[in-house]
Amino acid sequence: MNLSYTPEEQAFREEVRAFMREKLPADIQAKVRGGKRLQKDDFVRWHKALNEKGWLAVHWPKEYGGTGWGPIQRHIFEEEMTAAGAPSIVPFGLSMVAPVIIKFGTEAQKQYYLPRILNQDDWWCQGYSEPGAGSDLAAVKTRAVREGDHYIVNGQKTWTTLGQYANMIFCLVRTNPDVKKQEGISFLLIDMDTPGVTVRPIITLDGEHEVNEVFFEDVKVPVENLVGEENKGWTCAKYLLTYERTGIAGVGYAKAALRHLKNVASRQLKDGKPLLDDPRFRAQVAQVEIEVMSLEMTNLRVVASVAGGGVPGAESSILKIRGTQVRQAITDLLRRAVGPYAMPFISDVFEAGSDVEPVGPEYAAPLASQYFNRRKLSIYGGSNEIQKNIISKMILGL
Amino acid sequence: MDFNLTDEQRMLQETVSRLVSSEYDIETRHRYAASEEGFSRDVWSQLADLGLFGVPFSEEAGGFGGGGVELMVVMQEFGRGLVVEPFLSTVVLGGGLIEALGNNGQREEYLGQVIEGSLLLAFAHGEPDSRYNLQQVETRAEKNGGGYRLNGRKAVVFNGDSADKLLVSARTSGAARDAEGISVFLVDRTAPGVTVRAYPNIDGTHAAEVYLDNVDVGADALLGEEGNAFPAIAKVARRGIAALCAEAVGAMEQAVEQTLEYLKQRKQFGVPIGIFQALQHQMVDMRIALEEARSMAIMAANADQAESPEEAERIVHAAKVIIGQAGRKVAESAIQLHGGIGMTWELPLPHFAKRLVMIDHVLGDTDYHLERFSELMETPAA
């Protein structure tokens, strides 16, 4: 047993750190650290910087332009990227649709789509959830009917993250309504500029526009946009959901948020002294730090087992549950750390370069908003209750 | 990064596991626990014959030079069997203190006996008012002729009734909670002035209150330098905590396995109760708690490889916090999921639950370690 990184891994960590220092644009870093809104261009610039280095497609094999990294390198990379205050890599193209195309796609699909993802020519979004298909994903109703060389698609997708930036959407559609629900689903790639596609914003409880509804009305989709076989889309969907998920614990995010919490709590005063010196508050910070330590070690155990050829199965569900719980606990403490100044909510303050003065300390402005936003963590990607069902079935055999 | 056991470690695990599973069923364990000494001399000899008592000691001291991982492997299997033999008291704490503090002569004389299983030790450190504060020692040792005279009372001394020798901490100088001024003496349990009130604990282990009333010992009873024992006490306590974490993981594994098995067998409303989601999710929470506990036990076992002594100390505090929280959760949920039968003496499960909860009362509970971690936590530069 050896809990340290090898000299090669440590050298790699230094290399990633150096890259972050040199190539992460300062304005983007300032936005991430200050809790400001990121625009499409911020993501695109960051993706391009990573792609130039060959570090954008961390999950892809080398032959398609990926890094070919193993799980430990990916883990180090993710940790250093979040520590540096970089935006996360938008996953929809790079780590969702691409692995499905690589695994199930035709040669033509690989040749066409993969370079476009690397070069930022396409922005993908995910067409999975529907108003009637949330945790019960296989209940999708969006209908695709084959007519000659096309499918005609009708229906509605929802919770489409950053769909307002996207020109492509990968969808689970129903191609056969007469069989068991998992057996009549297909995986379809749809150009969002096609007539009949409408994107409508959903404003979330923090007042932000992050997710959307996408409507399809007699949308003509060429049959060559089908990935895998018709009616075998559930296989693609499951592959995507269980695909390499060692990053799911969000250890890097948790550590960055914890550092932020300590900074905020040491600047806030209580009875004239730093809040972080208040034994009661400090013990709560200590508790989450201990939970982060335990999460990190559990994550490393899974990472090491995958590096040794193991398959990350339902352990991902444990990491998802604990990772999201800890991150939510930290945002809860952040909100409480700033006391009454958690309340003022001036949306313009979140805009980088805005001349609107925040009401309290600048770091206080986004904290309540982020707290409410992070409630999503335990809901998306399979709610934590669904994760418990998975553990119950796959690990416990109940 | 490698979480695998070496071949030798795996063999050690199998050796202990075989002994525990073949000769330590719950009824046998109850019998040992209820015996006068609270454990079995036969089992003790068998453990000695297997060479287990040399595991944590350096090769110079006649041990196998085993590190934290070997200790973890042994303690985890002991936890699976709810083993009551005084391994923690004699080998980890007592032997650990002699190795850390003793001079060559003392190490040679006593560690050999510990390793061969012929000497039982108990660490008489805690006092009625000290709770978990390792620095709080009010028992006094005063110079008396060429030796020392000891007076005071030691509380909940594990295996204090069966030990041949007590390792008694006493203050040779300083105030009640000073780190400096604490010394450790080797005292015969039967020495004049030593009174031992033995009693059983609720988890099947044994302990004693030890009264020291003008106990005279020679200068050769002092372990290490006078007044300078605290760093060794803290170090040995950290090892003890790591050992307890591993024991708790073993006991948690049992509680989780037994509860899962029960959910699959017990029928109500015509179906196995494990199909009910309310119970499934509690079972999942128990399983998650076990994995977190295992992660922390691994960290604690490897704490001596940490970047700095401060980090090692933080790791051990953090581990005991998680072990305390996870242990309580697993214990309470295991009883709850069993329902009424979980409340009975007859079932093995509640005995694991009792040990899990009581481990939180040994060498510092969750509150204590959270407070200590909190004090040592890294904070932003002002």
Chain B CB contacts of A279 below 8 Å: 371, 374
Interface contact A282-B277, CB threshold 8 A:
no
What does the pLDDT look like over A133-167, one tens digit per residue?
998 999 999 999 999 999 999 999 999 999 999 99
pLDDT at site A270:
97
pLDDT score at A71:
87
pLDDT tier for residue A239 given thresholds of 50, 70 and 90: confident
pLDDT tens-place string over residues B293-338: 999 999 999 998 898 999 999 999 999 999 999 999 999 999 999 9
Min Cα separation A383/chain B (Å) = 13
Residue A244 in this model has a pLDDT that exceeds 60: no
Residues A52, A152, single domain; the answer is: no
Answer whether residue A244 is part of any domain.
no
CATH for the B122-227 domain, from 1.10.10.60, 2.40.110.10, 3.40.50.300, 1.20.1250.20: 2.40.110.10
pLDDT (average), residues B117-122: 98
Q: Are residues A306 and A325 in the same domain?
A: yes
User: What average pLDDT does range B38-42 have in this prediction?
Assistant: 97
| C-alpha–C-alpha distance, residues B359 and B365, integer Å | 8
CB distance from A183 to chain B under 8 Å?
Answer: no
Q: A304, B1: Cβ pair inside 8 Å? A: yes
Where do the domains of chain B lie?
Answer: 7-119, 122-227, 231-378
Nearest Cβ partner of B288 from A297, A300, A322? A322
A124 and A234 housed in the same domain: yes
CATH of the domain at A330: 1.20.140.10
Residues of B with CB under 8 A from a CB of A: 1-6, 9, 69, 260, 263-264, 274-275, 277, 280-281, 283-285, 287-288, 291-292, 295-296, 298-299, 301-302, 305, 315, 318, 321-322, 370-371, 373-374, 377, 379-380, 382
In A223-357, the DSSP E strands lie at: 226-227, 269-270, 273-274
| Residue A285 in domain | yes
Q: In whole angstroms, give the CA distance from residue B293 to residue B186.
A: 35
For chain B, the straight-line distance linking the first and the last C-alpha, in angstroms and rounded, comes to 34
Beta strand segments in A75-208, E:
124-127, 143-147, 150-157, 168-174, 185-191, 197-203
**Quick check: is A231 in a domain?**
yes
**Strand-pair partners of B171:** B140, B182
Phi/psi of residue A353, nearest 5 degrees = 80, 5
Q: Which residue of B has its CA nearest to A305?
A: B3
Whether the predicted pLDDT of B232 surpasses 60: yes
- Rounded CA-CA distance B41/B357 in Å is 27
pLDDT (average), residues B109-125: 97
Per-residue pLDDT, A381: 87
pLDDT at A1 over 60: yes
Shared domain check, A85 and A11: yes
Domain final residue, candidates A207, A239, A271: A239
By the CB < 8 Å criterion, does A205 face chain B? no
pLDDT score, position A238 = 86
- Would you call A397 an interface residue with chain B, using a CB distance cutoff of 8 Å? yes
Are the Cβ atoms of B302 and A1 closer than 8 angstroms? yes
CATH topology of domain B7-119: Butyryl-Coa Dehydrogenase, subunit A; domain 1 (1.10.540)
pLDDT over 80 (residue A334): yes
> What is the band of B176 on the pLDDT scale with cuts at 50, 70, 90?
very high
Provide the pLDDT confidence category of residue A308 given band limits of 50, 70 and 90: confident
Q: What percent of chain A has pLDDT over 90?
A: 88
pLDDT of residue B106 exceeding 80, the answer is yes
DSSP state of A120: T
Name the one residue in this structure whose structure tokens are 């069923």.
Answer: B25
| Domain stop point among A208, A239, A270 | A239
Q: Classify the phi-psi angles of A159: left when phi > 0, otherwise alpha if psi is within -120 to 50, otherwise beta.
A: left
What whole-number distance in Å separates Cα of residue A362 and Cα of residue B16?
59
Please count the structural domains in chain A. 3
In 3D space, the residue among B322, B56, B364, B121 whose CA is nearest the CA of residue B237 turns out to be B364
Same-domain status, A114 and A227: yes
Closest C-alpha among B261, B243, B364, B255 to residue B300 = B243
Using alpha carbons only, what angle is made at residue A318 by residues A315 and A320, rounded to the nearest 5 degrees?
A: 110
Interchain proximity B4–A1, CB inside 8 Å: yes
Using CA atoms in the order B156, B160, B161, B163, what is the torsion angle rounded to 10 degrees?
170
| Mean pLDDT of the residues in chain B | 96
ipTM for this prediction? 0.94
The answer to whether residues A264 and A348 belong to one domain is: yes
d(CA B245, CA B290): 11
Model pLDDT, residue A245:
64
Do the domain assignments include residue A94? no
The confidence score (pLDDT) of residue B91 equals: 98
pLDDT digits (tens, 9 = 90+) for B186-221: 999 999 999 999 999 999 999 999 999 999 999 999
Regarding whether A292 and A268 lie in a shared domain, the answer is yes
Q: Encode pLDDT of B342-361 as tens digits.
A: 999 999 999 999 999 999 99
Q: What are the tens digits of pLDDT across the range A24-73?
A: 999 999 999 999 999 999 999 999 999 999 999 998 999 999 999 988 99
Q: Can you tell me the distance from the alpha carbon of A243 to that of B346, in angstroms, rounded to the nearest whole number?
A: 46
Q: Do A392 and B284 touch (CB under 8 A)?
A: yes
Q: What is the DSSP letter of B205?
A: -
Is pLDDT of A240 > 90?
no
A280 and A375 share one domain? yes
Q: Which of B3, B305, B374 sits opposite A283 (nearest CB)?
A: B374
Which residues of B fall within a CB distance of 8 Å from A283? 370-371, 374
Q: Percent of chain B, pLDDT > 90?
A: 95
Measured in angstroms, the CA of A279 and the nearest CA of chain B are apart by: 8
Contact A324, A267 (CB under 8 A): no
Mean pLDDT of B262-282: 98
Indicate the helix (H) or strand (E) that contains B216.
strand B206-217
Residue A147: give its domain's CATH number: 2.40.110.10
pLDDT bucket at B172, cuts 50 / 70 / 90: very high
- Asked if the structure places residue A96 within a domain, the reply is no
In our burial notation (b when 16+ CB lie closer than 10 A, e otherwise), range A84-120 reads bbbbbbbbbbbbbbbbbbbebbeeebeeebbebbbee
The CATH homologous superfamily to which domain B231-378 belongs is: Butyryl-CoA Dehydrogenase, subunit A, domain 3 (1.20.140.10)
Residue A313 has pLDDT above 80, yes or no: no
Q: What is the pLDDT of residues B52-81, one digit of tens each?
A: 999 999 998 889 887 899 999 999 999 999
Taking 70 as the threshold, does the pLDDT of residue B237 lie above it?
yes
CB atoms within 10 A of CB A348: 9
Tell me whether residue A1 is in a domain: no
Whether A59 and A110 map to the same domain: the answer is: no
Residues A163, A210 within the same domain:
yes
Reading the block at residue A27, the tokens are: 């304005």
* Residue A5 touches chain B, beta carbons under 8 Å: yes
Q: Tell if the CB–CB gap between A298 and B291 is shorter than 8 Å.
A: yes
Give the structural domain span for A350: 249-394
Phi-psi region of A76 (alpha: psi -120 to 50; beta: other; left: phi over 0): alpha
Answer yes or no: is pLDDT of A246 > 80. Answer: no
Look at residue A376 and tell me whether its pLDDT is greater than 80. yes
pTM (predicted TM-score)? 0.95
Amino acid of residue B224:
G
A169 and A260 together in one domain = no
Question: Which of B284, B296, B379 has the most A C-beta neighbours within 10 Å, making it the best mutation to test the interface with A?
Answer: B284
Domains B7-119 and B122-227 agree in fold: no
Both A277 and A338 in a single domain? yes
A–B: how many Cβ contacts below 8 A?
122
